[in-house]
Structures are given as structure tokens and as C-alpha cells.
């Protein structure tokens, strides 16, 4: 069952707690003595406008079965183990839509999607195989987050133990006899209490500020440029939603751009005549709800001082072309200036930027891109992304398949060079001149190891907003970023959930 578009206008209104759990796998073959413990991750459970989605139960205590069950088998007391590798997605879609009564589902994910599995090189064949399985996982995720399943659904990573169990279970199923306590087999147990609604969840925006230099008078009267990235994620398994590309890549690029400009701004001789505002926004998957709240927290003078805002989203896995998405027409003087500035730098760096124009619909609260939240307040803004078209709500939000494996540091480095260099030329009035401010090997060079270490950190940090408090180590790490001096931070707490 897919959600109708109309319903998407409302943001998610409840989330249920419970992330990773320890899964106790009890082998009950003849002698009930061997027990194995495997980490499992529960499928998300949430409501939109009172409509329930995801897995609605958590406690599990049933026998393991495979997809090799004989037709007509009663599966109401069986946990069906489904390896994602080689999965027939049509079959799973039909299986779920039949709304069978099941004891539960356990999906086995390839190891490389594990959070601990950093970047892997591999041959070209590997890359193709990885691409296929990534697409499969994306499809599965899309399927699972948009249905309601009245039974527990978990994910686990493949390993020798669990594969051996699956082999045994398949053999048993092939005999046509279902496993029970008396016939032997395996029992899968998750001893947990049922989830509760997350009480007053909040989302946290983080803001930084570089003060420009005004020779005579008040620097608050200077124009401002805003650089923004949404940092939270949404996915089928909250505990696995690290979003290396969406939008870990944008966060990492923002931090590096902030580092570069704070170097320039720490010297009065190179401090620009623009203030620079950095925003790490939350609620990205929920219609950029945090951005919406953040913008409304500005006083009018700040909002009016914003020359333009650049939002960075999914810029970690492109090759040849990036897109600038705007809602003002391409003929608009500001848009022309931004686009020409970016195009010139991109040419020097030997790639292309395309301009994509999509009008906003003021009477529809649903936005396609982050910059549209700015556009709605008449602030000129653009989103830089490798995506040529806007994803649907709750898509490309950093779920299961968006792992470190598929993000390329070189793409982020080139994106940083593009944005930093274009902005610097705008700030220092070098438009149209081939002047490299952030030249390689200079003291202002882009720092690949800095980029890599942040990318590694975001790729290890699940960031589904209601589960990420303002005291989360990741949020604290962002707050402590040293170069952000003399930047300051403000936490804007937004209430995402309404209770009736
Ligand atoms: C996948 O499952 C569908 C539905 O059960 C079936 O019709 C199709 O033949 C299967 N495809 C493969 C490649 O097994
Ligand atoms: C704008 O949004 C409103 C409300 O969702 C909708 O009724 C209308 O058809 C939309 N207009 C266009 C031009 O898409
Ligand atoms: C930067 O330095 C490295 C080695 O330190 C060198 O290989 C590279 O060519 C230099 N790049 C530029 C643009 O000077
Ligand atoms: C953000 O969430 C709040 C609370 O659920 C809701 O009232 C508001 O309309 C949302 N804003 C946007 C822009 O979606
Ligand atoms: C989690 C999140 O905000 N993801 C965003 C990443 O970027 C893409 C492309 O701009 C957005 O569509 C996602 O919503």
C-alpha cells in the first residue's frame, strides 16, 4: 500500500522508540542447549496523521522458517528469514500485500551495509554487484516503510552463524514439515517490551556565524550568505540510517567550507564584507521542517540581509555533473549571478553544473527541496545536489543502502572546491576572474583528511531526528568544532510531534 500524495502534506506525527536490540537466537535442535546472540535492528514504527506505518510489534518468540515453506503452511507462529542477497522483490511485495498472519520477519542484510564496514575498494565487478544490491535494498526499504505490518520485523547482518541456521532451516522446510518445539528447529527470541510513542520528541538545528568586516560602522548591516545542510536521516531501520550521502556528504562539505572561511575571516586583512551564516538543519526528511522553523526564528533584519542561501544535499557520489536547483526563474539577476559563478569554477575544475528550475507552489506546504523553505520567505536560495530531480517524501533520506561504501571523498572535495571558490569570488569581488583562493598545497587548501574523518564519523552515526537528542555525542561534536570560533551556536528546538 503506497501513501497517497495528499497525506504527505502532513509531517510524521509519531515515532516509536526502540532501536537496536539484542536478538537471542536459540538453537533447539534436539538438545536445547545452544544459544547464539546476534544483533538485530527493528523496522521503524511511525504514524503520519494518525495512519500507522512500519512494524507494530516488537516481542518475538517463534520458530524460524524460510521462504521455502510449502504452500498453505500456517506461518502465524513462524519467523520467516529472508536474505536480501538474491531477493525477488516482486515476490516479497506480493507476500507482504497478501497480509498473511506471520510470527515475524527477519531480513538478512549483506555485511557491507554494516555501520562498522568502512570504505571498501574492490574490483569493477564488485562495484557492479554492489550497485545491484544497493538498488535492491532501496526498493525493499521503500516497500517496508510504506506498509503497516502487524508483526515484528527485524534486520540482521549476514554472518557464519546466521547463515548456518538459515541453511538448516531451509533443509527442514524442504522436507515439507514445519518445525515445532517437538520436531526440533530453531527458535528466534527478542525479549523486549512493546514500544511506546516517543514522548515530546525534539529536533535540533545548529547554527554558526562568521562576522564580516565593515570598515565604518555596524557589521550587522553587511549582507549575509547562508550555507545550509540538513543533517538528519530517515530509513527502514533507524539504528542503521547513517546517510553517508544524504546528507552526510552535505554536512561534511559544510564543515570544510566553514573551516576554510574561518581561516580567511580570522585575519582582518582577508575578512570579507559579508557575514556568513552556517546552518545544520534537522527534520530534513519531514519536509525540511527544521529549516522551516529555523528561518522563522530569524529576526527580520537578519532574514532580509541574506543575499542568498546555498543548500548542500547529496553531493557525495557524483562523477561528471552537479545540479543547481532554484525556484526563481533562470533570468533572475541573482540566479544568473550564482549560476555563472558556479559554472566558471566548475569549468576550471573540469566538470559541469546544470541549472534546474522548479516553481514553488505557495499554497502547498510540501516542498521538494530544502531551498524552497527559503524561497517561500522570498529569500533567494538554491540547492546543490547530484540528483537531477527531487526525490519523493521519505526517499533518499539516508536509509539502509546509503552507506560509506557508496560515497566518494573525491566527489565531496570537488563539491567543496566548487562552493568555496565561487563564494569567495563573490565575496571578494573576483567574479569572472580565474583566481584560485583555495589552491591545492596552499595554506588555504581543501583538507582531504579532515573531510575523510568527518565522513567516517557521519557514516557511523545514525541520525534519525527524534532519536538524536541535543546531547547526542554527534551533536556535541558539531558544537565543539573548534574553528567555529568566532562562530556561535544556537539550538532551536522544534516540536515535531503533536499528541492528541
Ligand atoms: C519473482 O516472483 C514473482 C512472483 O512470485 C514470480 O512471478 C517471478 O517468476 C519471480 N522471478 C524470479 C526471477 O524468480
Ligand atoms: C498548488 O497546491 C495546491 C494545494 O496542494 C493544489 O491544490 C494546486 O493544484 C497546486 N497548484 C499547482 C499549479 O500545482
Ligand atoms: C601538491 O603537492 C603534491 C605533493 O606534495 C604534488 O604531487 C602536487 O602536484 C602538488 N599540487 C599542486 C597543485 O601544486
Ligand atoms: C512542522 O511540524 C509541525 C508539527 O508537526 C507542523 O505543525 C508544521 O506544519 C510542520 N511544518 C512544515 C513546514 O512542514
Ligand atoms: C535526510 C535528508 O534531509 N535527506 C535529504 C538529502 O538530500 C536530498 C536531496 O536534496 C533530499 O531529498 C533529502 O531529503
Q: What's the CA-to-centroid distance between 229 and ligand 5, angstroms?
A: 9
How many Å apart are CA 278 and CA 152, to the nearest integer?
41
Residue from 285, 310, 358 to probe ligand 5 pocket by mutation (most atoms less than 8 Å from CB)? 285
**What does the alpha-carbon distance between residue 438 and residue 416 come to, in Å, rounded to a whole number?**
10
Nearest CA to ligand 2 atom 14: 361
Residue 122 has pLDDT above 60, yes or no: no
Say yes or no: CB of residue 14 within 6 Å of ligand 4: no
Which has more pLDDT, 71 or 301? 301
The number of beta carbons lying within 10 Å of the beta carbon of residue 265 is: 23
- Which stretch of 169-178, 257-266, 474-483 has the lowest confidence by average pLDDT? 474-483
pLDDT band at 15 (very low <50, low <70, confident <90, very high): low
pLDDT category at 491 given cuts 50, 70, 90 is: very low
Alpha helices in 360-408 (DSSP H): 371-375
Label residue 118 by pLDDT band (50, 70, 90). Answer: low
pLDDT tens digits, 340-351: 999 999 999 999
pLDDT value of position 355: 98
How does residue 14 score in pLDDT terms, banded at 50, 70 and 90? low
Instruction: Give me the percent of the chain exceeding a pLDDT of 70.
Output: 86
Q: State the distance from the centre of ligand 2 to the C-alpha of 313, rounded, in angstroms.
A: 25
Domains in the chain (CATH in brackets) are 5-190 (3.50.30), 202-495 (3.40.630.10)
**DSSP notation for 96-138:** HHTT---SEEEEEEPGGGSTT-------HHHHHHHHHHHHHHH
Query: Cis ω on the peptide bond leading into residue 239 (within 30° of 0)?
Result: no
443, 449, 454, 457: CA torsion to nearest 10: -160
CA distance 52 to 46: 6
Q: Using the mean position of ligand 3's atoms as its centre, give its distance from the Cα of residue 2 in Å.
A: 52
Round to whole Å and give the CA distance between 492 and 488: 13
Run of H or E including 356: strand 352-357
Residue 33 has pLDDT above 80, yes or no: no
Task: Report the residue count for the chain.
Answer: 500
- Taking only the tens place, the pLDDT of each residue in 419-436 is 999 999 999 999 888 889
For residue 7, what pLDDT is reported? Answer: 31
- What number is the average pLDDT over the span 176-198? 74
Q: Distances in Å between the alpha carbon of 285 and those of 90, 393, 440, 464? A: 27, 7, 35, 9
Of all ligands present, the nearest one to the C-alpha of 463 is 5
Q: Which of 254-258, 322-326, 401-405, 490-494 has the lowest mean pLDDT?
A: 490-494
pLDDT at 106 over 50: yes
Greater confidence (27 vs 412) lies with: 412
Mean pLDDT, residues 58-84: 89
For the CA of 360, the nearest ligand? 2
pLDDT value for 482: 55
Residue 249 has pLDDT above 90, yes or no: yes
Q: Which residue has the higher pLDDT, 126 or 285?
A: 285
Q: Cβ–Cβ contacts within 10 Å for residue 271, how many? A: 18
Is the predicted pLDDT of residue 298 greater than 80, yes or no?
yes
* Ligand 1 and 94: CB distance under 6 A: yes
Looking at every residue in the chain, the average pLDDT score rounds to: 84
**Cα dihedral angle (317, 322, 324, 329), rounded to 10 degrees?**
-140
C-beta 304 within 6 A of ligand 1: no
- Cell triple for residue 19? 532501536
Rounded to whole angstroms, the Cα distance separating 394 from 163 reads: 32
- The residue whose C-alpha atom lies closest to atom 4 belonging to ligand 3 is 441
Give the pLDDT confidence of 204-244 residue by residue, as tens digits: 888 888 889 887 777 778 999 999 999 999 999 988 999 99
Q: Which residues line ligand 2 (CB under 6 A)?
A: 361, 363-364
pLDDT above 90: residue 107: yes
Q: Is the pLDDT of residue 460 over 60?
A: yes
Whether the pLDDT of residue 488 is over 70: the answer is: no
Are residues 204 and 98 in contact, defined by beta-carbon separation less than 8 angstroms? Answer: no
Q: Is the CB of 167 under 6 A from ligand 1?
A: no
Its sign, for the CA torsion 283, 287, 291, 292, is negative
At 117 the pLDDT is 60
Above 70 in pLDDT, residue 102?
yes
Which of these ranges, 128-132, 153-157, 316-320, 444-448, has the smallest mean pLDDT? 128-132
Helices 124-145 and 89-97 meet at what angle, rounded to 10? 10
Confirm or reject: Cβ of 387 under 6 Å from ligand 5: yes
Q: What is the pLDDT of residue 116?
A: 66
Amino acid at each position: 500500500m503506497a501513501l497517497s500524495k495528499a497525506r504527505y502534506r502532513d509531517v510524521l506525527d509519531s515515532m516509536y522508540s526502540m532501536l537496536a536490540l539484542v536478538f537471542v537466537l536459540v538453537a533447539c535442535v534436539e538438545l536445547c542447549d545452544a544459544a547464539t546472540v546476534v544483533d538485530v535492528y527493528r523496522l521503524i514504527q511511525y504514524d503520519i496523521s494518525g495512519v500507522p506505518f512500519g512494524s507494530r510489534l516488537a516481542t518475538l518468540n517463534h520458530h524460524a522458517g524460510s521462504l521455502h515453506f510449502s504452500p498453505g503452511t500456517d506461518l502465524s507462529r513462524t519467523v520467516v528469514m529472508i536474505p536480501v542477497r538474491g531477493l525477488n522483490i516482486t515476490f516479497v511485495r506480493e507476500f507482504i500485500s497478501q497480509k498473511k498472519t506471520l510470527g515475524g520477519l527477519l531480513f538478512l542484510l549483506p555485511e557491507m551495509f554494516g555501520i562498522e564496514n568502512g570504505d571498501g575498494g574492490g574490483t569493477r565487478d564488485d562495484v557492479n554487484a554492489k550497485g545491484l544490491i544497493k538498488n535492491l535494498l532501496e526498493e525493499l526499504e521503500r516497500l517496508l516503510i510504506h506498509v503497516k505490518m502487524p508483526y515484528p520485523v527485524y534486520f540482521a547482518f549476514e554472518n557464519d552463524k546466521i547463515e548456518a541456521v538459515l541453511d538448516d532451516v531451509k533443509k527442514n522446510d524442504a522436507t515439507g514439515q514445519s518445525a515445532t518445539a517437538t520436531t526440533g528447529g530453531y527458535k528466534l527470541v527478542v525479549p523486549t517490551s512493546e514500544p511506546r510513542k516517543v514522548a515530546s520528541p525534539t529536533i535540533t538545528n545548529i547554527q554558526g556565524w562568521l562576522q564580516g568586516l565593515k570598515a565604518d560602522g555596524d557589521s550587522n548591516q553587511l549582507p549575509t550568505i547562508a550555507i545550509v545542510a540538513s543533517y538528519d536521516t530517515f530509513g527502514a531501520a533507524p539504528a542503521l540510517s547513517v546517510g553517508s550521502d544524504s546528507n552526510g556528504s552535505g554536512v561534511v562539505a559544510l564543515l570544510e567550507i566553514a573551516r576554510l572561511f574561518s581561516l580567511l575571516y580570522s585575519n582582518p586583512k582577508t575578512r570579507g564584507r559579508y557575514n556568513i551564516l552556517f546552518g545544520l538543519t534537522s527534520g530534513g526528511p519531514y519536509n525540511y521542517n527544521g529549516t522551516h522553523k529555523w528561518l522563522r526564528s530569524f529576526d527580520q533584519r537578519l532574514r532580509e540581509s541574506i543575499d542568498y542561501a546555498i543548500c548542500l544535499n547529496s553531493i557525495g557520489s557524483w562523477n561528471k555533473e552537479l545540479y543547481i536547483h532554484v525556484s526563481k526563474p533562470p533570468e533572475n539577476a541573482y540566479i544568473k549571478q550564482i549560476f555563472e559563478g558556479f559554472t566558471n569554477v566548475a569549468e576550471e575544475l573540469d566538470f559541469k553544473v546544470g541549472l534546474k528550475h522548479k516553481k514553488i507552489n505557495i499554497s502547498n506546504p510540501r516542498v521538494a527541496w530544502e531551498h524552497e523553505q527559503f524561497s517561500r520567505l522570498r529569500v533567494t536560495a538554491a540547492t546543490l545536489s547530484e540528483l537531477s530531480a527531487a526525490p519523493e517524501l521519505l526517499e533518499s533520506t539516508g536509509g539502509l543502502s546509503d552507506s560509506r561504501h557508496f560515497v566518494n571523498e573525491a566527489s565531496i572535495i570537488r563539491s567543496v572546491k566548487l562552493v568555496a571558490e565561487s563564494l569567495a569570488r563573490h565575496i571578494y569581488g573576483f567574479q569572472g576572474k580565474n583566481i584560485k583562493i583555495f589552491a591545492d598545497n596552499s595554506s588555504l587548501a581543501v583538507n582531504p583528511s579532515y573531510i575523510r574523518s568527518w565522513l567516517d564519523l557521519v557514516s557511523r552515526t545514525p541520525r534519525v531526528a527524534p532519536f538524536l537528542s541535543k546531547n547526542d555525542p554527534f551533536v556535541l561534536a558539531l558544537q565543539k568544532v573548534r574553528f567555529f570560533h568566532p562562530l556561535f551556536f544556537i539550538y532551536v528546538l522544534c516540536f515535531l510531534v503533536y499528541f492528541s
